[in-house]
């Protein structure tokens, strides 16, 4: 292993700038002549816009412009899009209502964008926004997921009868129904997957600047995928041709999915900076983030499992209603369909699965991918149902899992729901996790707790997810509008240091370190001489960005392939310089050597030769700089078992997580320190969903959890420290042997926590978030 190479917990290269206040986030960017945008948002969930009077606002101090949807339409800026098609069971594409960046004629959720005020200062913009006079004709609102598609409901979009976006059945219903007819036992569970607000700590922001000389727009934006932003803004929104639009995602303070999407504010800022020929900056405040960031989850589901007399799963039937909000966000349609139903097999051999997903519109903020995206919803449903099955069959939750796991020798394993798992050892992770959690000692601990009047519970969650998104052919067949390869460029400078350009984007994941470790391992260049560059369409050739735990599994492989190309070229240069046959050149630890001799040349010397080719192989291009693209053959399938132990105070309903153990299979670890940090963060994201976070709208569609005073984020004193270990297997299709780790915790944790609480209380189910009030009520009714 190279020093600081694969497997080393290298301290992060990016940390010094963050620790000294030298990070460069979008709101930190200030330019001469900058103006400030502030959006006028609908206070109503559903209303007709009779008129907008901007005259008083326009005359207000410092105001540069007040712009509305009419201005946007006049300039030919097209509505926001949804990039993935899901075909409904009537054979028609999903219903996609027009989604103008500034409302035209109607508003459909609280926070919907009505107008933008641009002024010399933010305070002036806010003052003027108060003076925009809007005549709303308020309509009844649809706020409930469960009832949105009921007959006689208020219709939101003419294009979507019964507020239905799509009805998407998957699987052989007749075959599944037949198994249920004759099964030994049927276990059933109704559950809600609570709506979450994603809440990266940096609010979204956009800063646009137009250069009238080059006719280029530069848009700094809080994005996880600058090239995808550019592509959509250019090809679909008609903001500017792709070569006249530079999108930069500078330092981004957390994403978790919510910064994948192209939002109204970003499009408006890009358009307005050119229209006004002034730099325009917009930064969301936290209330706006709650109102208008895409939200996550929000399912209402019924799940049923048919079992034989040994507790083997024979068939599963799932009925889900998924709330997509008022409009379709960029990738929203694929989340409760492909990313959800295709993971319903979990770690089990269940041979038949039928799923029906009803995706509905409501007068709430759009819902899209959030850390895990569909996979947490599938895992929560399945792993809760498995515990109900165990209870119904009188089996230990660990035992029923063992009886149904896909055996180690069955890989590659074709599930009944499209995915073909390439590798895994589910029993190994389970047994290791049980040991880490001292599962066998639980009974003693529960008795001890009981003597203090406390209720102890333990819960398991054995999850599998599909990451490394994604094989382009597979997503193309499913209706995605893009390919999901990744690109890399590895460039030596003449002085021997290396710049690595990646199309992925780091917003906390530590790519600047992990990717440098890949390069130092492969090329033998000291890590301090390697710089990883990302996030700027003017610097990196192309890329699809970071989400779905894809950066290392897809982007990392592209870097490795570019390094291989450099080694191949370097052999030619070294062979010429060392006067040897190319076939005799070996490359080890940064040196090209002639096999069996002491003749050698460091890769830095080779790079110098390539740029100063005074004596150079005939026919070979100068330069030492290679590109590579990688399109994976399959998804990767991280998996693991998490064990949560809780203590519940039946008097107060308070839940304390006393121990949390996670054993995951991420394949090979490049930087174990960073991976462990990703696991910790994911777990707490999941614990937040299970115990604290619940986004609530009232019946009128008013968001009643629109600040950190009302929406409970996990804090340091809500969670314990964690025990983390690994049970790796090798994914055969991934050249680096890696699987991805960023979402695992958020997927594994919610069912582990709720299984533990249900176990403690002796109840069949409790919905998330299991707040003290909900737990206290459940404890009372159980007693």
Q: Which residue pairs from 415-418 have beta carbons closer than 8 angstroms and sit at least 24 positions apart in sequence? A: 415/342, 415/345, 416/171, 416/345, 416/350, 416/351, 416/352, 416/353, 417/170, 417/171, 417/341, 417/342, 417/343, 417/344, 417/345, 417/353, 417/355, 418/342
Q: How far are the Cα atoms of 287, 435, 452, 590, 682 from residue 438, in angstroms, in the given order?
A: 43, 5, 21, 46, 22
Kindly compute the dihedral angle of the four CA atoms of residues 77, 78, 82, 87, in this order, to the nearest 10 degrees. -170
**Binding-site member from 31, 48, 59, 123 for other proteins (CB under 8 A):** 123
SS3 571: helix
**Binding-site member from 8, 341, 352, 719 for other proteins (CB under 8 A):** 719
- CA 400-189-426 angle, to 5 degrees, is 30
Closest CA to 611 of 601, 621, 619: 621
Q: Closest approach of Cβ 688 to other proteins, in Å?
A: 9
- Binding window for other proteins (CB under 8 A); candidates: 152-160, 272-280, 416-424, 679-687: 679-687
716 contributes a contact to other proteins by CB under 8 A: yes
| Closer of 537 and 678 to other proteins (Cβ) | 678
681 contributes a contact to other proteins by CB under 8 A: yes
User: Rounded to 5 degrees, what are φ and ψ at 634?
Assistant: -150, 165
Closest CA to 392 of 765, 774, 19, 776: 765
Burial of 371 (0-12, 13-18, 19+ CB in 10 A): buried
Scored b (16 or more CB within 10 A) or e, 534-571 reads: bbbbeebebbbbbbbbbbbbbbbbbbbbbbbebbebbb
654 contributes a contact to other proteins by CB under 8 A: no
243 contributes a contact to other proteins by CB under 8 A: no
27 contributes a contact to other proteins by CB under 8 A: yes
| Closer of 295 and 507 to other proteins (Cβ) | 507
670 contributes a contact to other proteins by CB under 8 A: no
| Contact indicator for 184, 308 with CB cutoff of 8 Å | yes
204 contributes a contact to other proteins by CB under 8 A: no
Restricted to residues 727-756, the positions that interact with other proteins (CB under 8 A) are: 745
Q: Closest approach of Cβ 689 to other proteins, in Å?
A: 12
Q: Closest approach of Cβ 123 to other proteins, in Å?
A: 7
Q: Closest approach of Cβ 14 to other proteins, in Å?
A: 7
Structure tokens at 218: 């530069």
Q: Number of helices and strands (H, E) in the chain?
A: 20, 30
Q: Cα 66 to the chain's mean position, in Å? A: 34
32 contributes a contact to other proteins by CB under 8 A: no
Q: How far are the Cα atoms of 115, 203, 217 from residue 272, in angstroms, in the given order?
A: 12, 21, 10
| Closer of 488 and 706 to other proteins (Cβ) | 706
- CA 300-304-308 angle, to 5 degrees, is 165
- Binding window for other proteins (CB under 8 A); candidates: 198-206, 493-501, 618-626, 756-764: 198-206
Closest CA to 659 of 640, 683, 676, 678: 683
Q: Closest approach of Cβ 714 to other proteins, in Å?
A: 8
Provide the H-helix boundaries in 8-104: 15-19, 55-58, 69-74
287 contributes a contact to other proteins by CB under 8 A: yes
Please state whether the peptide bond connecting residue 470 to the residue before it is cis, i.e. omega within 30 degrees of 0. yes
669 contributes a contact to other proteins by CB under 8 A: no
373 contributes a contact to other proteins by CB under 8 A: no
- β pairing state of 591-594 and 600-602: antiparallel
538 contributes a contact to other proteins by CB under 8 A: no
| Closer of 21 and 91 to other proteins (Cβ) | 21
| Closer of 87 and 705 to other proteins (Cβ) | 705
| Closer of 286 and 733 to other proteins (Cβ) | 286
**Binding-site member from 246, 401, 685, 739 for other proteins (CB under 8 A):** 685
658 contributes a contact to other proteins by CB under 8 A: no
Distance CA 2, CA 687 (A): 37
Q: Which residues contact 714 (CB under 8 A, 6 or more apart)?
A: 684, 685, 687, 688, 691, 692, 693
558 contributes a contact to other proteins by CB under 8 A: no
| Contact indicator for 339, 379 with CB cutoff of 8 Å | no
130 contributes a contact to other proteins by CB under 8 A: no
508 contributes a contact to other proteins by CB under 8 A: yes
Q: Closest approach of Cβ 602 to other proteins, in Å?
A: 28
Distance CA 378, CA 373 (A): 9
**Binding-site member from 337, 509, 593, 641 for other proteins (CB under 8 A):** 509
- β pairing state of 486-492 and 625-630: antiparallel
111 contributes a contact to other proteins by CB under 8 A: no
**Binding-site member from 158, 440, 598, 717 for other proteins (CB under 8 A):** 717
| Closer of 401 and 659 to other proteins (Cβ) | 659
Structure tokens at 588: 């080890």
16 contributes a contact to other proteins by CB under 8 A: yes
- Binding window for other proteins (CB under 8 A); candidates: 162-170, 231-239, 574-582, 682-690: 682-690
Centre a 10 Å sphere on the Cβ of residue 310 and count the other Cβ atoms it contains. 11
674 contributes a contact to other proteins by CB under 8 A: yes
517 contributes a contact to other proteins by CB under 8 A: no
140 contributes a contact to other proteins by CB under 8 A: no
Q: Closest approach of Cβ 527 to other proteins, in Å?
A: 15
665 contributes a contact to other proteins by CB under 8 A: no
12 contributes a contact to other proteins by CB under 8 A: yes
| Closer of 201 and 783 to other proteins (Cβ) | 201
Structure tokens at 403: 């009886």
Q: How many residues sit close enough to other proteins to count as binding (CB under 8 A)?
A: 57
Site track for other proteins across 455-494, x = CB under 8 A: ----------------------------------------
Q: Closest approach of Cβ 26 to other proteins, in Å?
A: 11
Residues that bind other proteins (CB under 8 A): 11-12, 14-23, 25, 27-28, 30, 123, 199-203, 251-254, 256, 285-287, 507-510, 673-674, 676-677, 679-685, 707-709, 713-717, 719, 721-722, 745
């Amino acid at each position: 292993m190279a020093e600081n190479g694969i497997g080393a917990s290298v301290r992060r290269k990016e940390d010094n700038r963050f620790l000294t206040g030298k990070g460069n986030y979008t709101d930190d960017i200030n330019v001469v002549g900058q103006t400030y945008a502030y959006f006028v948002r609908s206070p109503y969930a559903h209303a007709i816009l009779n008129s907008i009077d901007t005259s008083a606002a326009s005359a207000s101090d410092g105001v540069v412009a007040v712009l509305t949807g009419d201005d946007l339409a006049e300039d030919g800026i097209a509505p926001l899009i949804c990039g993935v098609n899901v075909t409904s069971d009537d054979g028609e594409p999903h219903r996609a209502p027009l989604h103008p960046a500034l409302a035209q004629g109607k508003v459909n959720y609280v926070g919907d964008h009505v107008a933008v005020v641009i002024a010399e200062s933010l305070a002036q913009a806010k003052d003027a926004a108060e003076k925009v006079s809007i005549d709303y004709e308020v309509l009844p609102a649809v706020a409930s997921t469960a009832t949105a598609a009921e007959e006689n409901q208020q219709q939101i979009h003419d294009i979507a009868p019964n507020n239905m976006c799509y009805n998407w059945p998957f699987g052989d219903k007749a075959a599944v129904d037949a198994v249920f007819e004759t099964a030994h036992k049927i276990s059933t569970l109704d559950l809600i997957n609570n709506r979450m607000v994603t809440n990266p700590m940096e609010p979204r922001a956009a800063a646009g600047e137009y250069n009238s000389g080059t006719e280029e727009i530069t848009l700094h934006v809080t994005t996880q995928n600058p090239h995808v932003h550019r592509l959509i803004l250019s090809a679909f929104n008609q903001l500017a041709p792709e070569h006249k639009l530079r999108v930069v995602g500078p330092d981004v303070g957390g994403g978790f999915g919510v910064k994948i999407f192209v939002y109204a504010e970003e499009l408006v800022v890009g358009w307005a900076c050119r229209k006004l020929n002034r730099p325009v900056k917009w930064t969301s405040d936290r209330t706006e983030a709650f109102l208008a960031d895409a939200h996550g989850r929000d399912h209402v589901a019924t799940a049923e499992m048919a079992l034989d007399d040994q507790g083997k799963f024979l068939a599963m039937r799932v009925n889900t209603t998924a709330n997509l909000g008022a409009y379709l966000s960029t990738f929203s349609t694929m989340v409760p369909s492909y990313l959800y139903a295709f993971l319903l097999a979990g770690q089990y051999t269940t041979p038949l699965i039928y799923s029906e997903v009803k995706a509905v519109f409501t007068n709430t903020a759009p819902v899209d991918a959030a850390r895990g995206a569909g996979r947490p919803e599938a895992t929560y449903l399945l792993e809760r149902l498995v515990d109900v099955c165990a209870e119904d069959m009188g089996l230990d939750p660990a035992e029923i899992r063992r009886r149904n796991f896909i055996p180690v020798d069955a890989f590659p394993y074709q599930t009944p729901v499209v995915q073909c798992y390439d590798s895994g050892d589910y029993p190994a992770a389970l047994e290791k996790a049980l040991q880490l959690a001292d599962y066998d000692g639980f009974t003693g601990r529960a008795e001890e707790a009981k003597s203090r009047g406390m209720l102890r519970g333990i819960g398991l969650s054995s999850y599998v997810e599909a990451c490394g998104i994604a094989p382009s052919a597979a997503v193309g067949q499913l209706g995605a509008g893009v390919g999901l390869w990744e690109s890399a460029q590895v460039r030596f400078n003449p002085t021997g240091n290396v710049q690595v350009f990646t199309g992925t984007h780091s917003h906390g994941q530590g790519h600047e370190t992990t990717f440098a470790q890949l390069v130092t391992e492969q090329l033998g260049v000291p890590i301090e001489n390697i710089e990883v560059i990302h996030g700027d369409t003017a610097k990196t050739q192309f890329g699809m960005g970071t989400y779905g735990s894809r950066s290392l599994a897809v982007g990392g492989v592209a870097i490795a392939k570019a390094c291989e190309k450099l080694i191949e070229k370097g052999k030619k240069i070294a062979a010429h310089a060392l006067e040897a046959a190319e076939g005799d050149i070996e490359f080890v630890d940064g040196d090209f050597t002639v096999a069996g001799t002491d003749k050698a040349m460091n890769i830095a010397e080779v790079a110098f030769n390539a740029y100063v080719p005074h004596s150079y192989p005939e026919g070979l291009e100068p330069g030492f700089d290679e590109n590579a693209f990688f399109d994976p053959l399959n998804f990767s399938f991280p998996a693991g078992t998490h064990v949560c132990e809780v203590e519940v105070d039946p008097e107060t309903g308070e839940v304390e997580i006393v121990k949390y153990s996670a054993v995951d299979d991420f394949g090979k670890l490049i930087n174990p320190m960073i991976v462990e940090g990703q696991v910790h963060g994911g777990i707490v994201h999941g614990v937040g969903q299970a115990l604290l976070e619940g986004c609530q709208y009232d019946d009128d569609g008013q968001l009643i959890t629109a600040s950190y005073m009302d929406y409970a984020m996990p804090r340091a004193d809500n969670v314990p420290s964690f025990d983390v270990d690994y049970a790796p297997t090798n994914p055969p299709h991934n050249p680096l042997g890696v699987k991805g780790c960023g979402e695992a915790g958020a997927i594994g944790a919610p069912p582990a926590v709720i299984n533990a609480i249900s176990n403690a209380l002796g109840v069949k189910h409790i919905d998330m978030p299991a707040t003290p009030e909900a737990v206290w009520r459940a404890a009372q009714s159980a007693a």
